[in-house]
Structure 1
Amino acid sequence: MRNGWKRGAQGAAAFAMLALLPRCGGAVDARDEVQDGALKAVAQAALPTICQPRTYLDPRTVVAEHDGAVRNDQPNLNMSSQSTLYVDAAPTRYQSYLRFHLEGEGGELVQARLRLYAKQGTNTGLSFHPVTGGVWESTLTWNNRPMEGPAIATVSSVANDAWLTAEVKGAASDRETLSVGVFPLGDDGAEFSSREASNVSRRPQLDTVFRYDWCTYRGSSTPSQSWAKTLGGAARENAAALFNLPDGTGFVLGGRYSDGPAQAGGAALPGPSGFLVARFNTAAQHQWSRAYGVGQQVSMEAMTVTPLGNVLVVGTYLGSPDFGTGALPYIDPNTAGAGDGMFVLKLSPTGNPVWAHGFRAEKRPGWAEGAVYPTIAVPTAVATDANGSVIVAGHFKGYMDLGGGDIYAGPMSESRDDSTQSLFLAKFDYDGGHQWSQAFYTVDEYTEANALATDAAGNILMGGRSNNATLATPGMRVGTAFVARFTSSGAPVWGYGLKGGAIGRIRGLAALPDGGVAFAGGFNGTFTFQGQTYSSHDDTHDVRPDDGVFGTLTASGGEGWVRVLTTYPSGDVAEQVAVDGAGNLVVKGRVSAYTLDLGGGELGTPGLPRGGALRFVASFSPTGTHRWSRMLGTQVSNAFMAVLPDGSTRLAFTFEGSTPVGATTFVSSGQTDMGLIQFTP
């Protein structure tokens, strides 16, 4: 099925993408055989020079899905439930059969090594044959056994209590199935553990290696990679934010961790859990890293860096955590999920806590006279300006005082049933003093502020999901994807929502040099932009946006250009957008496809190893023309992007296992780790 990467505004041409549903893989067992010289030769990629190729060898071990032995003297006997596979020539002839489901959809099978555990070996040898037809398991007998082909491998002998290994790649009948028969070459019989064996580790196995030739980059320039770095310790570390230092001396990474001490490039950070901030120079050399909220009920939700290199963190908490400046106001831990408090934290350029504030929200419903109930206050985005101010957006229910008196989420937020949440936007000075705060009523329980940015003049840009008339064009339906501009004092300038019947969510914003704004997010349904209609692949969902969208708006909130990404079945989103010094856009996102064409040619390959979403980062000119696009792979999660003025792109991401990104294969320490990488334009 063909799916479209649609380009709008001024009649630009449409691009195409082939999308298939990924399959999740099985257990991975990277044995020494993968390093054999034969496989090294196989790994030489043969892709066109118009892309940057990478060959990936994907080793997996699968167990037999069917097996059984048959005997000629009892031609109707089924032996498939026995724990032993028999092979013998005389006086009774025994033959055994095995079938495996191959788990490398789309790749090229370059190795398939059958491994059988010999309980009793043989001195007269065995032969291995591809087999077709017949029946399996409970109905397998000598009379209806599969039909064999010519031998594809032989062994002259097999030791007792040892593993037999034979290359049987020729027994693969298609991309999904490998069926093999094991026959005697003499009258010294052999016995092997079957898939019914009580010792699971001795059941029949097939060690496979699939080859994937990826096109990882498309563009007019020669791409390169500046550096790559793995960060990880005993804990489960997850990347949560990445920001360049405004003075160009490096960058700051934010992360979360659990299940033990964490590692972010320096000394181990104490466990069992918390969030971390780490600073690196331009070559990704560690400068410092610190942990906060260790062992407490805290969660980092967003982070940014001020012009002077201070770090601002917002998140939620329970209890009364102390980040180093005093305990926050107590929030009852028993209200988890229903009454989380929010914190705002400022760190110095060396990671020392400067100040921290904690806030709570509460319901005061009229239907319960005098009653007060704790409720949620969740900061979801934070930004700063030239003065180092702290600008926070999020959602809450009931009433909340951020320092300037109560703001109110509206009567629907205090409803007995199906209560809704409303957005808030607030500004604090560099010392944490309240400047202003305001709320935006909605009637949508899924309303959120997901993106926040400022421009050179200090104007504030907010994006997310809401039908509030201040944030989106009046009359928009519930769940509209919106972008809104405010002055530095919080006065609304304009609000824009996707026009039509679509719902959606704006996840990323960036100010453009001409005063406009770049946006990125997702949508579901149908909307119009510059007079052209765009529809999602599947418009049956009314909560989760299914397809990606990004583009630009003018300084006055008018429509610039837009791109829409729709693949089968769903799950596409443009997650983040940034702007380089020349006004080019860099977009990061993911699609539910094997291959992806963002305008410069196909990335990926049909059939991605181990399934998952295909993540990408791509650059477009100020008018929307494709400049370059890069595939990040399918095993990367929680990716965050920071773009330099020259267009170089830094990425922080979460990964587990062996994960190829760019020219580097990242290997985790066992649980999830964090990866860092920088690409030049």
Structure 2
Amino acid sequence: MAMRWWSRGLGLLPVMGMAVACGGGAAGTEVEATASLEQGVEGCREVTRYEESDLPVNDDTYVSADAPDTTFGDSTKLVSDGNPRQEAYLRFIVTQHTGFVRARLRLNVLDGSSNGPALHATSSAWTGSSLTWNNRPAPVGGALANVGALLSDSVVEYDVSAHVTGPGEYGFVLLPEVGDGTDFASLELRALRPRLVFTYATTTTECGTQGTGGSLSSVRKLGGVNGEVPHAMATDPTGGYVIAGDVGNLGTLGGPANNPEGLLVSRFRADGSHQWSRSFPQASAGTWMQVEGAAVTPEGNVLLAGEYFGQPDFGQGPLPGTSMGTGGIFLLKLSPSGQPVWAKAFRAHLDPGGTRPHQVFRVAGVATDAQGSLILTGSFRGFTDFGVGQVDAGESTRREEQPTTGAFLARFTWEGQLSWARVFQAGQSNTEGLAVATDSQGNIVLGGLAGDGNELGATVARTPFVVRYSMHGALDWVRRLEGSGVNGQVTGVAVLPGGAVGFVAQAYGSIAYAGGTVTTNVGGVPDLVLGTLESAGTDRWLRAYGGTEGEYPRRLVADAQGNLVTMGVFHLRSDLGGGPLNPTGGELKAFVAKYGADGSHRWSRALNETAMDPVLLGMTPTGETWFGGMLSSAEEVGGTVYTPYGSSDLLLMKLTP
């Protein structure tokens, strides 16, 4: 199944003392729980982390009673045996290691014993090239540590924390206790040589939530024996919602776990109960489809759009074929009960006749309006035909080296017929449509990034923009985010009360706005940039949030009062307006944050993105937030650790206003 660009690494391990929710037993699994803000990593807490550093032995040897004048400093092994009597010596010079909380002697066992030797301190005034049985130093005091039986080809550790307390020279001797002695690797075996291992403790304050609100009202984990990868979510006026994504064989996004591998669409009622699921299996290894956007019409129909190759069939006959790595997009309408109503497909080509290979064609955003129309945006290269003749993405999109992309915005009727389409040709840099929304009058708001050479009016590459069109496709206004060194993209748009427009961008530079300047990060690291425009397109307010490492918002929704909720990922640590966020985990963290109608921070919440890939965002009629994505490893949420049943599951959280 297809994965998105962001990398993922090791996820969180289950934490002792916390509940663990994971799959098991049945072919599918659903786990639902409630949690409070004070549990787990949701608030701020002191966390102690442990790291290790090691020091290789400086000298080692062994001595033997039956060869009292012989040295063994060049031997590849250290022998401690009771018959004949043999004793192993080690010497360490500790200089830079300070502030550790534990010290251990780590040895590789070459030949095991029924009872390993005891470790004692001794003088360090010897060398392996001169030490013999006759001149060996005596042990000092009682045993520092002891072990039991030792297996061959294993590793053993002696805790020497009470003896090794800081810089200095340390001598050790291993005294046998049985006649079937032990052979350890010496420094002559470089990869296996003895080492002192030092453990360091660092205590930091880690925060998962800031602000007031955003506490968990429920958490749902859905999945089957194979992987589930959610891609899109849409809510309806009743509080219900639809989730679409990829599933493996016997996968589920809710409901029975008996679906074939392919695309799955699941619908839920406002109380979270499963209403129906509709699966569209991959017909063959050469078929692939991925939903990238969804919307629910006022009548309850479900509109989906995405990308495909091969010839998938949504119940209306096979789509026109494309090959792997080439461009094709699909539109699909399902009835309120999940039955296919119609399906459309479009392809892009290098030439107007469509005889040369299909080109990049991407879907980025889907919306609907009061008439049940399907509004679609994205980007493509070359030529395409939405149903009224060829359109061109721009000459630069067809060049062999570093081709660009042009953008499109299209409106289709509830019957699937094209109303109109606008294409924004690329100049020397990309133009992309990334987010779309509609207001109560049917006006269409589009956000993305603009290059030069089209009606969006940008003069430099990667100019973030918001533009509004009438329901008939006439340009109302365009607002570009410009200034000194501005670079970025608008990734989410939302319609606010009175026809105002909210938008979120990932951008850097100094942005001229509302008669002033909003300065973000510099040097190529974007901030979360949140703003609003009046219905006429004039500036209302603009704010930048974030730290020095980079914030990447992906979606935006709004409630009836004009409050804004956005989600995405940030790098390492961030401040989204309420204080530091730095939960345990990898380099990328998933976040969801809510802001007031004036842009003031309400609350922000962060998770370990290496475990959960955030792609789902929705708003209930009562102002609660749906937030979720693909869970690929253990993730702590509200004091419970959720673990995927298969390779990945769906994790969905409901957050209070």
Smaller-chain TM-score range?
0.7 to 0.9
Paired-residue identity, %: 30
> Aligned in 2, Cα 1:517/1:504: closer, same or farther, shift over 3 Å?
same
* Matches of 2:630 and 2:165, distance apart in 1: 37
Instruction: Please say if residues 563 and 594 of structure 2, whose CA atoms lie closer than 8 Å, have aligned partners that are also in contact.
Output: yes
Partner of 2:174: 184
Alignment CA distance shift 1:153-1:282 (3 Å): farther
- Flag structure 1 segments of 5+ consecutive residues without an equivalent: 1-22, 37-46, 103-107
Partner of 2:408: 424
Instruction: Tell me the SS of whatever aligns to 1:514.
Output: helix
Letter in 1 for 2:336: P
Q: 1:167 to 1:580 in 2, by over 3 A?
A: farther
Task: Determine the C-alpha separation between the residues in 2 that align with 1:424 and 1:551.
Answer: 24
- State the shift of 1:171 in Å: 9.8
Partner of 1:314: 305
Tell me which of 344, 352, 371 is aligned to 2:331.
344
1:93 to 81, 85, 88: 88
Q: Residues of 1 paired with 2:299 and 2:104: CA distance?
A: 57
Equivalent residue, structure 1, for 2:577: 599
Distance 1:155 1:532, change over 3 A: farther
Unaligned runs of 5+ in 2: 1-6, 19-37, 64-69, 132-138
Partner residue, 2:4: none
The Cα shift of 1:267 comes to: 2.4
2-side partners of 1:614 and 1:214: how far apart?
13
Any idea what SS the aligned residue of 1:645 has?
Answer: coil
Residue 50 (structure 1) shift: 14
Structure 2 CA distance, aligned partners of 1:180 and 1:561? 66
What is the match of residue 395 of structure 1? 379
Structure 1 residue 408: deviation in Å? 2.5
Question: Do the aligned residues in 2 keep the contact of 1:443 with 1:478 (CA within 8 Å)?
Answer: no
Match of 1:284 in 2: 272
1:562 counterpart = 2:553: no
SS in 2 for 1:329: coil
Structure 1 residues 632-663: Cα deviation after superposition (integer angstroms, max 9, x where no partner): 23432133211223331111211222111344
Q: Distance in 1 between matches of 2:236 and 2:372?
A: 13
- Residue type at the aligned position of 1:626: H
- Distance in 1, matches of 2:11 and 2:172, equals 25
Indicate yes or no: 2:271 matched with 1:254. Answer: no
| AA in 2 matched with 1:668 | P
Q: How does 1:484-499 map to 2 (within 5 A)?
A: 484-499=467-482
* Matched AA of 2:575: D
One of 106, 118, 133 as aligned partner of 1:126: 118
RMSD between superposed Cα atoms in Å = 4.8
1:360: how far off? Answer: 1.7
After the TM superposition, which residues 53-132 of structure 1 pair with which residues of structure 2 at under 5 Å, given as runs?
53=44, 70-71=60-61, 77=73, 91-95=86-90, 119-121=111-113, 123=115, 126-127=118-119
SS of alignment partner, residue 502 of structure 1: strand
Which whole-Å deviations, capped at 9, do the CAs of 1:282-311 have from their partners, x for residues lacking one? 343333323224242222222222223322
Report what 1:673 is aligned to.
Answer: 649
Secondary structure of 1:93's match?
strand
In terms of mean alpha carbon deviation, does 493-502 or 658-667 score higher?
658-667
Q: Does 1:481 align with 2:464?
A: yes
Given the superposition, is the C-alpha separation of residues 163 and 420 from structure 1 closer, same or farther in structure 2, using an over 3 Å criterion?
Answer: closer
Q: Could you give the per-residue CA deviations for residues 482-503 of structure 1, whole angstroms, max 9, x where no partner exists? A: 1110111111111111112312
**1:239-298 Cα distance to aligned partner (Å, 9 max, x none):** 2112222222x221122245x4423233235444x2221122334333332322424222
In 1, Cα distance between equivalents of 2:165 and 2:271? 50
Cα deviation 1:473-519 (Å, max 9, x = unaligned) = x3531221111101111111111111123121111111111321111
SS of corresponding position for 2:499: coil
State the SS of the aligned residue for 2:397: helix
The answer to whether the Cα contact below 8 Å between 2:618 and 2:627 also exists between their aligned partners in 1 is yes
Pair 28,601 (structure 1): closer, same or farther in 2 beyond 3 Å: closer
Contact 2:592 2:606 in 1 (8 A): yes
The amino acid across from 1:92 in the alignment is E
1:91 alignment partner AA: Q
State the TM-score, normalizing by the size of structure 1.
0.74
Alignment partner, residue 214 of structure 1: 206
CA distance in 1, matches of 2:644, 2:188: 34
Query: Following TM superposition, by how much is the alpha carbon of 1:665 offset from its aligned partner in structure 2, in angstroms?
Result: 1.8
Number of residue pairs aligned between Structure 1 and Structure 2: 599
Q: Compared with structure 1, are the counterparts of its residues 559 and 194 closer, same or farther at alpha carbon in structure 2 (3 Å cutoff)?
A: farther
Letter aligned with residue 459 of structure 2: M
Higher mean C-alpha deviation, range 530-539 or range 160-169: 160-169
* 1:97 CA drift (Å): 8.0
Deviation at 1:111, TM superposition (A): 12
Further displaced range: 377-386 or 356-365 = 356-365
Question: Aligned pair in 2 of structure 1 residues 443, 468: CA closer, same or farther (>3 Å)?
Answer: closer
Match of residue 16 from structure 1: none
Residue matched to 1:8: none
For the Cα contact (< 8 Å) 2:378–2:407, is it kept in 1? yes
Query: 1:558, CA displacement in angstroms?
Result: 1.8
Deviates more, 1:309-318 or 1:84-93: 84-93
